[in-house]
A and B are shown apart, each in its own frame.
Chain A
Amino acid sequence: DGGITQSPKYLFRKEGQNVTLSCEQNLNHDAMYWYRQDPGQGLRLIYYSQIVNDFQKGDIAEGYSVSREKKESFPLTVTSAQKNPTAFYLCAVRGGGENSPLHFGNGTRLTVT
């Protein structure tokens, strides 16, 4: 993690409920990302934000929403419209110039039953 906090570590919800995953950073980086990871799958980009009050859809944005009201925070809401929400969700930040590496949080494992 190193300055990126995802909470909670484990989250359980009933089908049909919206749920919000938290991601906070104290690295003062501009860009923040949400990825989803499923067993045997690579990381898939959900949403990303390069600056406060602006964000872009990634490859699998359907059923998710985000906000970026503060530089430090980039919460992800998994809505009831997401067909298969059970997954491992990873938040990452990126700063320091062109093509600098991603710094990831330790993830939230969401289980929807």
Chain B
Amino acid sequence: SQKIEQNSEALNIQEGKTATLTCNYTNYSPAYLQWYRQDPGRGPVFLLLIRENEKEKRKERLKVTFDTTLKQSLFHITASQPADSATYLCALDRASGYSTLTFGKGTMLLVSP
């Protein structure tokens, strides 16, 4: 069956460092992959989408890579700030229409001053 894995352990880093979060998947051939941020008690907020034919996508301090051979996406936050502390979810999609998204369990990021 399809499986999406994100590191269940929280990632603790110091302010100013680069945070790298991992999303691995199996038994899946997604056409797209999305990353969301979720703060406690709130709904997830969309951050970035990357297509299967794109190797890398950037948005301000965020960078996402997508390796369909390794079946892995990496999510980087450069120059991290305490305000970046949140849970980050990856979600996989299939091509065409209003297909449903399957979400990973998320990884909590804690950025200390």
Q: Residues of A at under 8 Å CB distance from B?
A: 1, 4, 30-31, 33, 35, 40-43, 45, 48, 50, 58, 90, 92, 94, 98-99, 101-107, 109
Contacts and interface: CB of A to CB of B under 8 A. Distances in A.
Given A99-B31, A101-B36, 12 more contacts: A31-B98, A35-B103, A42-B105, A50-B97, A99-B99, A102-B36, A104-B44, A106-B42, A106-B43, A107-B42, A107-B43, A109-B41
Contacts of B101: 102
Nearest to B43: A104
B34 interface: yes
Contacts, number: 60
Interface residues of B, number: 28
Interface of B: 4, 8, 31-32, 34, 36, 41-46, 49, 89, 91, 93, 95-106
Contacts of A107: 41-43
Given A43-B103, A48-B100, A1 B43 contact: yes
B31 A42 contact: no
Nearest first, the 4 closest Cβ-Cβ pairs linking A and B are: A104-B43, A101-B46, A43-B103, A42-B105
Given A90-B43, A98-B95, A106-B43, A43 B89 contact: yes
